Amino acid sequence: MMLLLAAPAAQSVEWAQLTIERRVIVRVPMASKGKVPPPVSPDTAKDWDEKKGPRCIALRSIRAASIIVLNGVDLILADQHRYRARLEKGCDSAGFYSGFYVEPHADGSLCSGRDELQARSGMSCAIDSFRRLVAADD
């Protein structure tokens, strides 16, 4: 402060502001066989019925994902519940075969109509809706 007072009046003092932003990205891995019961494969698509799901899912509860339908990604939660993230029209879930990234919001939730899944290839698809998966009756 004393230096500013001692500076000649002819010289102008410039102020600058620096803003540092932090970007957090959450990676969701694909489920590997044997780690998450029951086993997930394309043959198991008929083993699940879709019911009405929530608008949002807590990101901290997602443990893994799998792909068994063309227009959705199945999310496996810590409590072994499953939800299918239905993707926007024209999005193919095959691009998410090696997992995906999500940029979390302040509320810590992944929401349909707001968030999108980002593949490692750079492809991104908005989440159209969530459907709750329940074991199909034989």
What's at 54, amino acid-wise?
A: P
Reading the block at residue 9, the tokens are 């009046």
pTM of this structure: 0.71
Question: 67-79, pLDDT tens digit by residue?
Answer: 888 889 999 999 9
Hey, is 49 helix, strand or coil?
strand
Q: Phi/psi of residue 96, each to 5°?
A: -105, 20
Question: 76-94, pLDDT tens digit by residue?
Answer: 999 989 999 999 998 888 8
What's at 43, amino acid-wise?
A: D
Number of Cα atoms under 13 Å in the Cβ half of residue 130: 21
CA 127 to chain CA mean position, Å? 9
